[in-house]
Amino acid sequence: MLNNQGRPTAAGNAEPAAPETFTGNKALQVEEALLFEIGRVDVTGVDIEDVELGANRLGGLARKGDIGLVGLSEPETMRHYVRLSQKNYGIDTGLFPLGSCTMKHNPRLNEKMARLAGFADVHPLQPQSSVQGAIALMQELARYLMVLTGTRAVTLSPKAGAHGELAGMMAIKAAIEAKGEAATRKTVLVPESAHGTNPATAALIGFEVKTVPAQKDGTVHVEDVKALLGPDVAAIMLTNPNTCGIFEPQVVEIAAAIHDAGGYFYCDGANFNAIVGKARPGDLGIDAMHINLHKTFSTPHGGGGPGAGPVVLSDRLAPFAPLPFIREADGKLELVEAKGEGDQAFGRVTAFHGQMGMFVRALTYMLSHGSDGMKQASEDAVLSANYIRAGLSDLMSVPFPDHPSMHEALFDDAWLKDTGVTTLDFAKAMIDEGYHPMTMYFPLVVHGAMLIEPTESESRASLDLFIMSLRDLAMRAKRGETERFANAPFHAPRRRLDETRAARNPILKWTPREPVAKAAE
Amino acid sequence: MERDMRYLPLSSDDRAAMLAKVGVKDVDALFADIPADKLLTAPVDLPRAKGELEVERILSRMAGRNVSASSVPFFVGAGAYKHHVPATVDHLIQRSEFLTSYTPYQPEIAQGTLQYLFEFQTQVAALTGMEVANASMYDGSTGAGEAVLMAHRITKRRKAVLSGGLHPHYAEVIRTLSHMASDEVVTAAPDVGATEDLAALIDNDTSCIVVQNPDVFGNIRDLRPLAAAAQAKGALLIAVFTEAVSLGLIESPGAMGADIVVGEGQSIGNSLNFGGPYVGLFAAKAKYLRQMPGRLCGETVDAEGKRGFVLTLSTREQHIRREKATSNICTNSGLCALAFTIHMTLLGEAGIKKLARLNHANAVKLADALVQVKDVEVLNASFFNEFTLKLSRNARDVVEAMAEKGVLGGVPVSRLLPDAGLDDLLIVANTEINTEEDRAAFVQVLHDVLGA
């Protein structure tokens, strides 16, 4: 029990300004030095038997001298990384409406299942007879993905969305080569609104990128596609729902047009979360689509990966799927790792079999939600995005009012005109309100874009508070309270960071300071 | 749904109120842009929602059908290695603020991720002996593919020469990418004894040679003559490693003259995971910085002059440069890089050296014990923690027979190179996890299987 004798228990009179602290710390906000400033060369936090090497078999190539690493004891390590973690914003911290990224709740059951020894502690090259359960899991995940997308083939091995794009476009290129059209079909159509990975992927494997203009309503029109079609066109890369948060109304016609012209339809599936259980991309005429398991199926984003990017394929592309693939014979599952007679697999996109750890998490998520829960999740995600749009559209400008939003609501910066506040300023002010900002300045077809994706994981109270907070900020911007925007964030672990300086003189690793004595010479 | 699914906070009352606010009569009105005949009315043909207990049962049953590395004497390597990962690592990477954050687009609230990436880059540069390292690739094999593309950009040539000691999956990834990009690849014949003359394959069109060390058969290679030979012809040396722990004991690729170093970081901090997720390490000479793929974290200051970190040099990247980007990589391997850097911090200079010595010592013990087994020959003149055995029988059959006797004995070369006529070769790894009893079991079971 606390002894209150002589001890003030009231909050006291708040001072107008907080005094500087000796350490620079602010209570729970603790400044943390770099590992290399606190670590020591002779310290290790792991107890390892110290063996003396007698005669070694290193072929005369033993390392000479120091590596340049430092170590910390276990308690110091724990504290270093816990303090670093406290400078980060995650989904578990609060609403994380980063458009196009689907920052939904990450169930911890997924983590627990992925760590079962039978999944986490098996080697990709141990005898296949000893990993039949692991291969069965891959096959089950494949089945779920095919049912949800209305396709009959999927390649699991791509390691993230952009890698899936690459694999899908490689399958298209292989199919074109098989038809003897490699020399002529060299153009890939990419809408202006596309994610930057699309043109980068196409260019990486030698395609020439042609841009399809966006219409005034934020969609791609079949006539604009047709105008660019010809015997030189290999494929179109279309995001659907698109990056403006709109389901492409003419997607079926666009698919038919590209097929009629002898090309293929690559669909960027980054926004699949809007339509799971509502529409099947296979029914819409896609030939290949990657699925970001870390977005739609909630394997965690992990501070920037690992992701996973399986690609579903149409019957036309299925024969070209890369190694490995699963075959079933005599009640046994086989992961086929090398091309057999007559196989048309276009090669291999990664060592081993793909992101097994992510497969387990994604299947755990799908089993938990079930067909009903996944449909409901998509509906809730779309409803929440439209709810935010409805709550803000009188204050913030909606560039494409003619279409309902799918799972993300897009605003532009027309409403900030003459306020002196930019999209970036507005985003940084959201940080002070305790939110992670939305995606900014993307898609490029909209000036000062703000792309808000709340996902299905927010309660109505959370959405309401978010809307009220943004309304408050919007009104302050319009009232000319530019200070709070131009200098935001005020309350984050760091104030606005100088990105120009970082790029002009890149410092990409810690380097020891000159010893004082030497510097004085 | 009869009940509310546990991950979905909205109730049916919430939904009704929200629909009213939006001004539509039902949720399908929001899906009006989907052609009516394509809109699904009933849930797809998959099972309905399940509780946590039920899901756990299903997955545990699947997991139970696999033989885990820790449950048997285990000697499987060839690109992925079983090491002990301290409990601290897995606890820390599950901190919400690490696990559920994303690419640090808003650096003011992502200093945790950015600082560990800066520290990671510093560790990778030190370990590889290079000047700069990036914030990770998907894995070693995809990193190797990107390294070749980078060499092509630097040299403005389009031909890669691959060592016969390069992991066959890595070679296949490079060949696939090169074929698709219409670049040329020459792959040397499988080089079990590390005797190839790779320098002879370098001509004036060659942009790079790709050499793995220790190679897939376990041999340790001196990269210095290769670096000199490559550089004499204006080509680059790309050094690959699949066993990061080896760098604690053998000379770094940077010290041996490599221009680009790419490797698999799984060994440090990460589980086997049946092949992924892993983490690609990527480092280069500073003069090639602007041709590097992937994300880079750099030091800067904030508006108050305090040190902070940001993603930098993004003008190389796809979201700015689109079709002119150095790579299409976006999401990389953040959390696996975190596991790597935490484990590396716990090890430190002293720990990684000790760990590497222990690995080598264990492997030497096994190699010495195998000399006693009839019909078995250790082919390596040098090795770190892995070597190749020549057996009197098909290695695939031997491995299967050993597995039936409860020992996972290694990787048959024919699994990686099915048509190379190397069916009697077995790649065997031995790390700090292997005990004297494991080694005795390996020797005994191999002896029994070969004698049967």
Distances (CA, A) of A31 to A24, A85, B244, B275: 7, 12, 31, 37
- The yes-or-no verdict on residue A516 having pLDDT over 60 is no
Q: What is the pLDDT of residues A106-141, one digit of tens each?
A: 999 999 999 999 999 999 999 999 999 999 999 999
Rounded Cα–Cα distance for residues B307 and A370 (Å)? 47
Distance from the B60 Cα atom to the nearest Cα atom in chain A, whole angstroms: 7
pLDDT at A5: 72
- How many C-beta neighbours within 10 Å does residue B155 have? 18
Q: Which CATH number fits domain A109-366: 3.40.30.10, 3.40.640.10, 3.40.50.2000, 3.40.190.10?
A: 3.40.640.10
Mean pLDDT for B37-41 is 96
pLDDT at B319: 74
Mean pLDDT for A478-487 is 96
Write a three-state SS string for chain B: CCCCCCCCCCCHHHHHHHHHHHCCCCHHHHHCCCCHHHCCCCCCCCCCCCCHHHHHHHHHHHHHCECCHHHCCECCCCCCCCCCCCHHHHHHHCCHHHHCCCCCCCHHHEHHHHHHHHHHHHHHHHHHCCCEECCCECCHHHHHHHHHHHHHHHHCCCEEEECCCCCHHHHHHHHHHHHHCCCEEEECCCCCCCCCCHHHHCCCCEEEEEEECCCCCCCCCCCHHHHHHHHHCCCEEEEEECCHHHHHCECCCCCCCCCEEEEECCCCCCCCHHHCCCCEEEEECHHHHHHCCCCCEEEEEECCCCEEEEECCHHHCHHHHHHHCCCCCCCCCHHHHHHHHHHHHHHHHHHHHHHHHHHHHHHHHHHHHHCCCCCEEECCCCCCCEEEEEECCCHHHHHHHHHHCCCECCEEHHHHCCCCCCCCEEEEECCCCCCHHHHHHHHHHHHHHHHC
pLDDT at A4: 64
Mean pLDDT for A81-88 is 98
Fill in the DSSP letter of residue A321: P
pLDDT at B2: 47
Rounded Cα–Cα distance for residues B371 and A41 (Å)? 38
Domain boundaries along the sequence of chain A: 23-35+70-87, 109-366, 375-498
Residue pair B143/A349 in contact (Cβ under 8 Å)? The answer is no
Tokens of B337: 């890089």
Write a three-state SS string for A263-303: CEEEEEHHHHHHCCCCCCHHHHCCCEEECCHHHHCCCCCCC
Give all strands (DSSP E) within A331-433, no chain letters: 332-336, 409-411
Which of B13, B21, B34 to mutate to probe the A interface, most A CBs <10 Å? B34
pLDDT at B376: 96
Fill in the DSSP letter of residue A158: -
Closest Cβ opposite residue B46 in set A144, A170, A507: A144
pLDDT at B128: 98
B186: which strand partners? B161
Fill in the DSSP letter of residue A14: P
Rounded Cα–Cα distance for residues A340 and A344 (Å)? 9
Q: What is the pLDDT of residues A244-278, one digit of tens each?
A: 999 999 999 999 999 999 999 999 999 999 999 99
Rounded Cα–Cα distance for residues A289 and A292 (Å)? 10
- How many C-beta neighbours within 10 Å does residue A231 have? 11
Fill in the DSSP letter of residue A249: T
Q: What is the pLDDT of residues A287-318, one digit of tens each?
A: 999 999 999 999 999 999 999 999 999 999 99
CA proximity to A497, closest of B174, B336, B299, B417: B299
Distance from the B254 Cα atom to the nearest Cα atom in chain A, whole angstroms: 11
C-alpha dihedral sign at A367, A372, A376, A379: positive
pLDDT at B282: 98
pLDDT at A17: 78
**Using the beta-carbon criterion (under 8 Å), do B338 and A303 form an inter-chain contact?**
yes
DSSP H/E element including A256: helix A251-260
C-alpha dihedral sign at A336, A338, A339, A341: negative
pLDDT at A341: 85
> Beta strand A264-268 with A288-290: parallel, antiparallel or unpaired?
parallel
Tokens of A146: 């095919």
Residue pair A276/A377 in contact (Cβ under 8 Å)? The answer is yes
**Using the beta-carbon criterion (under 8 Å), do A377 and B5 form an inter-chain contact?**
yes
- A155–B contact, CB cutoff 8 A: no
Residues of A in contact with B298 (CB under 8 A): 502-503, 506-508
C-alpha dihedral sign at A456, A461, A467, A473: negative
**Using the beta-carbon criterion (under 8 Å), do B70 and A121 form an inter-chain contact?**
yes
Percent of chain A surpassing pLDDT 70: 96
Residue with token string 């690959």: B240
Distance from the B423 Cα atom to the nearest Cα atom in chain A, whole angstroms: 15
Residues of A in contact with B101 (CB under 8 A): 88-91, 301-303
Rounded Cα–Cα distance for residues B301 and B310 (Å)? 9
Q: Which CATH number fits domain B87-343: 3.40.50.1860, 3.40.640.10, 3.40.50.2300, 1.10.1040.10?
A: 3.40.640.10
pLDDT at A521: 41
Residue with token string 């004894």: B193
Burial bucket for residue B20 (CB in 10 Å: 0-12, 13-18, 19+): exposed
> Beta strand B236-241 with B206-212: parallel, antiparallel or unpaired?
parallel
Residue with token string 């097929």: A259
**Using the beta-carbon criterion (under 8 Å), do B121 and A508 form an inter-chain contact?**
yes
Domain B72-84+349-451, second-level architecture? Alpha-Beta Complex (3.90)
Which of A67, A123, A323 to mutate to probe the B interface, most B CBs <10 Å? A123
CB contact residues (below 8 A), chain A span 461-480, against chain B: 462-463
Rounded Cα–Cα distance for residues B311 and B299 (Å)? 9
Q: What is the pLDDT of residues B90-133, one digit of tens each?
A: 999 999 999 999 999 999 999 999 999 999 999 999 999 999 99
**Length in residues, chain B:** 452
Percent of chain B surpassing pLDDT 70: 99
Tokens of A317: 């592309």
Residue pair B308/B300 in contact (Cβ under 8 Å)? The answer is yes
Instruction: Round to the nearest angstrom and report the end-to-end CA distance of chain A.
Output: 61
pLDDT at B326: 78
Rounded Cα–Cα distance for residues A326 and A166 (Å)? 21
Q: What is the pLDDT of residues B174-211, one digit of tens each?
A: 999 999 999 999 999 999 999 999 999 999 999 999 99
Fill in the DSSP letter of residue A64: -
pLDDT at B317: 74
> Beta strand B184-187 with B159-162: parallel, antiparallel or unpaired?
parallel
The backbone torsions φ and ψ at residue A311, rounded to the nearest 5 degrees and listed phi first, read -120, 120
pLDDT at A13: 62
Coil, strand or helix at A118: helix
What integer best gives the mean pLDDT of chain B? Answer: 96
Distance from the A288 Cα atom to the nearest Cα atom in chain B, whole angstroms: 17
What integer best gives the mean pLDDT of chain A? Answer: 95
pLDDT at B318: 72
**Using the beta-carbon criterion (under 8 Å), do B29 and A57 form an inter-chain contact?**
no
Rounded Cα–Cα distance for residues B296 and B310 (Å)? 8
For B415-451, b/e burial (b = at least 16 CB within 10 A) is bbbbeeebbbbbbbbbbbbbeeebbebbbebbbebbe
Residues of B in contact with A337 (CB under 8 A): 415
Distances (CA, A) of A364 to A140, A289, B45, B303: 11, 22, 17, 44
pLDDT at B3: 53
pLDDT at B157: 98
B159: which strand partners? B184, B206
Q: Number of helices and strands (H, E) in chain A?
A: 17, 12
C-alpha A125, offset from chain centre: 29
Rounded Cα–Cα distance for residues B173 and B137 (Å)? 14
- The yes-or-no verdict on residue A15 having pLDDT over 70 is no
- A346–B contact, CB cutoff 8 A: yes
> What topology does CATH give the domain A375-498?
Aspartate Aminotransferase, domain 1 (3.90.1150)
Rounded Cα–Cα distance for residues A137 and A360 (Å)? 7
Those residues with Cβ within 8 angstroms of residue A133's Cβ, 6 or more apart along the chain or in another chain: A118, B61, B62, B63, B64, B65, B66
Mean pLDDT for A202-217 is 93
Tokens of B277: 């997720």
